[in-house]
């Protein structure tokens, strides 16, 4: 609906409408009040318009040099202020005649920022009318005037709070509005202003004859509000400017929040898509995994894993950890995982694969100090034996019926990827048996506290004890991983700070 603005009054009343000062705390400069008797000398100074560099007059009006007067007359209400101006080192002492001198000095409240309005209007007299209306409210607003859009672009600086646009302004390339295409012209002008001033509030100024048509259309295009030229009033014009600025700020904040949410959703979809999908078609092995990044509100961290079944029937499983917790480490982890899958499907394994993977890391890492640990297990097609390669990574945990859970030997552990250029990674062969459960994990699972109150790390042995306890309770697969992670967090006293990835392969 259009804003109904009453016609100008001969003498605008400043005190008659308290609601007109809504929003004044944000932009308006409140009218100065006379100092009250109990105000301190500094507060009086802020209200007095005296020149701080004025020199006392000579002759009969000269101030006496009686030390009891401190250089001013006793009846001078700004006596203490003159003392400060004359002698900055003067020390005040309380006295019966001046009890306020012992009161603490009040701090000046910061003055609200002054509004700056850019008026875009072809009528030379329009600027004077608007300035007069705004000045009649008692709190001046800086007004800049542009006669055309070219001048408007030059005067449009960051300190402009609001734009008041005359919808009768000729469209770009025209010297006057067209008679048969006025509606099209006004939209072209408004759209041009909105395009060159996307961060500024815009008020549309229209005539009363077609306000019902042009005003709502201007708001639909993007203006914050519209005003009727023939009904302008200084107080309401100021209020409309303030409200337009606040609406623009609110709209901008809402748009940024929406954009932030959309980016977060897109990032979530992207990160979720980067998590691996195991290739186990035709395998009798059961697979389960749990993944939790250490970064707040992230879906992907520096830990990475994958599982692939090659055409010969062998199952290859890998888990790794890039040192660090930021997005660069997460991206490097994805690159290493994809490279590992491609190399595995190409037929590489063991030392040959890890040597090539280290070259990938050296080329892709953002710092020469970045390294990655990795554990790789190659399970034979019959599922009864496997070869294990460790590159600075914690050993897997294996459990068999009647044996409980224990760590695999890790004496042949090689260095982490990216530390030694000519490193080698020996392969350890091991017997699995007919029924087994193999758990691979990153160090985030074992670096939490053990819950005994001494601040000790849980470690590999503590984690193995937890898994034995849950296996004895009959847990397996996804429930085993879920309960193990829940207990690790409980012992730690809260969420783990490092990335955590856990894989579980079961047979039989």
Sign, CA dihedral 468-471-476-478, equals negative
* Whether the Cβ atoms of residue 114 and residue 140 lie closer than 8 Å to each other: yes
DSSP character at residue 417: B
**The pLDDT value given to residue 111:** 54
What is the distance of C-alpha 164 from the center of its chain? 32
**The pLDDT value given to residue 470:** 94
Burial of residue 75 (CB within 10 Å: 0-12, 13-18, 19+) is: exposed
Question: What CATH class does 114-251 carry?
Answer: alpha beta
Nearby residues of 54 by Cβ (< 8 Å), 6 or more positions away: none
Q: pLDDT tens string for the chain (508 positions)?
A: 444 444 444 433 333 343 333 333 333 333 344 444 333 333 333 333 444 444 444 444 443 444 444 444 444 444 444 334 444 444 444 444 454 444 555 555 555 567 888 999 877 666 667 777 776 666 667 888 898 888 899 998 888 989 999 888 887 666 555 554 444 555 789 999 999 999 899 999 988 877 888 889 999 989 999 988 888 777 778 888 888 888 888 888 888 888 888 877 776 766 666 788 899 999 999 999 999 887 666 667 889 999 999 999 999 999 999 998 888 898 899 999 999 999 999 999 999 999 999 999 999 999 999 999 999 999 999 999 999 999 999 999 999 998 889 998 888 889 999 999 999 999 999 999 999 999 999 999 998 888 776 778 899 999 999 999 999 999 999 999 999 999 999 998 888 888 899 999 999 8
Q: So where are the chain's domains?
A: 41-102, 114-251, 278-507
* Whether the Cβ atoms of residue 377 and residue 441 lie closer than 8 Å to each other: no
Nearby residues of 313 by Cβ (< 8 Å), 6 or more positions away: 282, 283, 381
Residue 143 to residue 116: CA distance in whole angstroms: 6
**The pLDDT value given to residue 208:** 80
**The pLDDT value given to residue 141:** 78
**The pLDDT value given to residue 295:** 65
Question: Nearest to residue 71, comparing CAs of 95, 57, 80, 43?
Answer: 80
**The pLDDT value given to residue 106:** 54
The Cα-based distances of 219 to 190, 245, 439 in angstroms read: 10, 14, 62
* Whether the Cβ atoms of residue 302 and residue 332 lie closer than 8 Å to each other: yes
Residue 501 to residue 159: CA distance in whole angstroms: 52
* Whether the Cβ atoms of residue 397 and residue 439 lie closer than 8 Å to each other: yes
Residue 162 to residue 185: CA distance in whole angstroms: 22
* Whether the Cβ atoms of residue 239 and residue 219 lie closer than 8 Å to each other: no
Token pair recorded at residue 97: 């005649």
Alpha helices (runs of H) in 60-171, residue ranges in sequence order: 79-86, 126-135, 149-155
Do 114-251 and 278-507 fold alike per CATH? no
Which residue in this structure is represented by tokens 């209020």? 239
**The pLDDT value given to residue 2:** 47
Residue 146 to residue 120: CA distance in whole angstroms: 5
Residue 333 to residue 321: CA distance in whole angstroms: 7
**The pLDDT value given to residue 100:** 46
**The pLDDT value given to residue 5:** 44
CATH hierarchy code of domain 278-507: 3.60.40.10
């Amino acid at each position: 609906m259009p804003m109904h603005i009453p016609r100008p009054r001969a003498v605008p009343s400043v005190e008659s409408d308290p609601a007109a000062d809504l929003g004044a705390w944000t932009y308006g400069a409140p009218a100065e009040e006379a100092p009250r008797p109990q105000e301190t000398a500094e507060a009086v100074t802020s209200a007095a318009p005296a020149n701080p560099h004025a020199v006392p007059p000579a002759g009969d009006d000269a101030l006496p040099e009686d030390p009891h007067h401190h250089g001013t007359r006793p009846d001078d209400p700004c006596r203490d202020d003159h003392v400060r101006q004359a002698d900055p080192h003067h020390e005040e002492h309380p006295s019966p005649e001046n009890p306020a001198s012992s009161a603490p000095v009040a701090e000046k409240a910061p003055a609200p920022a002054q509004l700056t309005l850019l008026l875009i209007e072809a009528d030379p007299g329009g600027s004077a009318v608007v300035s007069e209306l705004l000045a009649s409210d008692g709190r001046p607003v800086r007004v800049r005037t542009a006669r055309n859009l070219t001048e408007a672009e030059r005067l449009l600086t960051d300190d402009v709070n609001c734009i008041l646009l005359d919808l009768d302004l000729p469209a770009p390339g025209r010297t006057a509005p067209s008679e048969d295409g006025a509606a099209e012209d006004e939209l072209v002008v408004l759209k041009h202003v909105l395009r060159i001033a996307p961060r500024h509030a815009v008020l549309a100024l229209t005539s009363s004859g077609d306000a019902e048509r042009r005003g709502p259309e201007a708001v639909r295009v993007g203006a914050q509000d519209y005003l009727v030229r023939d009904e302008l009033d200084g107080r309401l014009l100021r209020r409309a400017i303030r409200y337009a600025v606040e609406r623009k700020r609110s709209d901008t904040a809402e748009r940024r929040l929406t954009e932030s949410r959309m980016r977060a959703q897109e990032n979530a979809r992207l990160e979720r898509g980067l998590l691996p999908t195991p290739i186990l078609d035709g395998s009798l092995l059961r697979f389960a995994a749990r993944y939790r990044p250490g970064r707040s509100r992230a879906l992907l961290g520096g830990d990475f894993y994958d599982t692939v079944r090659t055409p010969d029937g062998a199952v290859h499983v890998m888990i790794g950890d890039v040192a660090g917790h930021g997005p660069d480490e997460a991206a490097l982890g994805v690159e290493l995982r994809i490279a590992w899958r491609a190399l595995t499907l190409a037929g590489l394994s063991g030392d040959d694969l890890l040597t090539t993977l280290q070259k990938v890391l050296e080329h892709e890492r953002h710092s020469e100090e970045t390294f990655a640990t990795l554990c790789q297990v190659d399970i034979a097609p019959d599922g009864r034996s496997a070869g294990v390669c460790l590159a600075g990574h914690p050993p897997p945990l294996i459990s068999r019926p009647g044996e409980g859970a224990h760590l695999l030997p890790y004496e042949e552990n090689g260095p982490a990827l990216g530390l030694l250029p000519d490193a080698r990674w020996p392969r350890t062969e091991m017997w699995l048996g007919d029924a087994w459960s193999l758990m691979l994990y990153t160090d985030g699972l074992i670096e939490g506290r053990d819950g005994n109150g001494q601040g000790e790390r849980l470690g590999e042995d503590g984690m193995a004890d937890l898994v034995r306890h849950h296996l004895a309770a009959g847990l397996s697969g996804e429930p085993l991983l879920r309960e193990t992670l829940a207990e690790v967090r409980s012992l730690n006293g809260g969420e783990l700070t490092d990335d955590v990835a856990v894989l579980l392969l079961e047979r039989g």
